[in-house]
Amino acid sequence: MGREIVLNLLSRGAKVIAIDINSIALQGTVELANDRKDALSTFLVDITSKASVGMLMNEVLERFGAVDGLINNAGIIQPFIKVNELNFETVERVVNVNFYGTLYMIKAFLPHLLTRAEAHIVNISSMGGFLPVPGQTVYGASKAAVKLLTEGLHSELTGTNVKVTVVFPGAVGTNIMQNSGVDNPIQSAADNKAMKALSPARAAQIIIDGMENDRYRVLVGKDAKIMDLFYRLVPRSAAGLIAKKMAALLNDRGNAMQASLH
């Protein structure tokens, strides 16, 4: 989805700086930019490092002079297992990428954004950031933190030149499992025709449209919209529905883990 956000921005005439920890992914984005690649610059950065993000900010401003927008899209999921079975190394990795990476980027660039005539911050949360998904509880907690961080920023920056938008994607056909180092244990629930996964290109379009229209919150996909309403009206029932859908998966994986220990 991050790649499609870059390509969408380029198609609208923007100059874009793409940041990733994966050099191959960055090069792939450059190649897809085709005749717009001159408007794209890339940086290899570990956003979980405060020092690296600080150096990035300095280098970006030295080379380009100004930045008018920041889209925090980087995110990873956890293995599909319960909190009790997660090791702390995995917990810290998920929280560091999803929450602290977002926070470090904001802390680094916000002072500069406040000097611009107009600027915008977009943070990508998740449907799992407002609705509990068993087997992705720590991931959801990190995305819930992004949600409240973004909403708090919106309130703090009201009356300034910096606008803020939070995004809640539902099922999008991305490679987040591969990037997270997580195996795909089942066919995605998005294979259900009623909840077909949105294409990354369409998701990117919705996100950028939301930014340009200064939306407070953006729900990406029918599933995100439906579950947002369901959870607001009857949160316990909505949580129970998701728990039922995840129960078989978690039980199967729990049995597989036990079998591997014997």
Does 235 score more than 90 pLDDT? yes
pLDDT of residue 234: 97
The phi and psi torsions of 188 (rounded to 5 degrees) equal -55, 140
For 121-170, the pLDDT digits (tens) are 999 999 999 999 999 999 999 999 999 999 999 999 999 999 999 999 99
Q: Which comes out higher in pLDDT, residue 64 or 186? A: 64
Domains defined along the chain, listed by start? 2-261 (3.40.50.720)
Distance CA 119, CA 126 (A): 23
| Nearest one of 48, 59, 162 to 115, comparing CA atoms | 162
Catalytic residues: 139
Max avg pLDDT among 64-73, 240-249, 250-259: 64-73
Q: Give me the helices (H) in the chain, please.
A: 2-11, 23-33, 50-64, 88-95, 101-113, 137-156, 176-180, 200-212, 222-233, 235-261
Q: What percent of the chain has pLDDT over 70?
A: 87
For 100-117, the pLDDT digits (tens) are 999 999 999 999 999 999
Does 256 score more than 70 pLDDT? no
Indicate if the alpha-carbon torsion angle 11, 17, 22, 27 is positive or negative. positive
Q: Phi-psi category of 201—alpha, beta or left, where left has phi over 0 and alpha has psi -120 to 50?
A: alpha
Unique residue bearing structure tokens 């290109």: 201
Section 2-21 average pLDDT? 96
Section 8-37 average pLDDT? 96
For 196-233, the pLDDT digits (tens) are 789 999 999 999 999 999 999 999 999 999 999 999 99
Distance CA 147, CA 85 (A): 26
Distance CA 16, CA 10 (A): 7
pLDDT of residue 33: 96
Does 68 score more than 90 pLDDT? yes
For 49, the token pair is 């490092």
For 79-107, the pLDDT digits (tens) are 999 999 999 999 999 999 999 999 999 99
DSSP 8-state assignment for residue 247: H
Q: Is residue 214 within a helix (H) or strand (E), and if so which, with residue range?
A: none
What does pTM read for this prediction?
Answer: 0.87
pLDDT of residue 252: 63
Confidence of residue 175 (pLDDT cuts 50, 70, 90): low
Contact by Cβ (8 Å): 123, 72: yes
Distance CA 87, CA 99 (A): 18
pLDDT of residue 82: 95
Does 251 score more than 80 pLDDT? no
Contact by Cβ (8 Å): 42, 26: yes
Type of residue numbered 34: N
For 97, the token pair is 């990428």
Q: What percent of the chain has pLDDT over 90?
A: 83
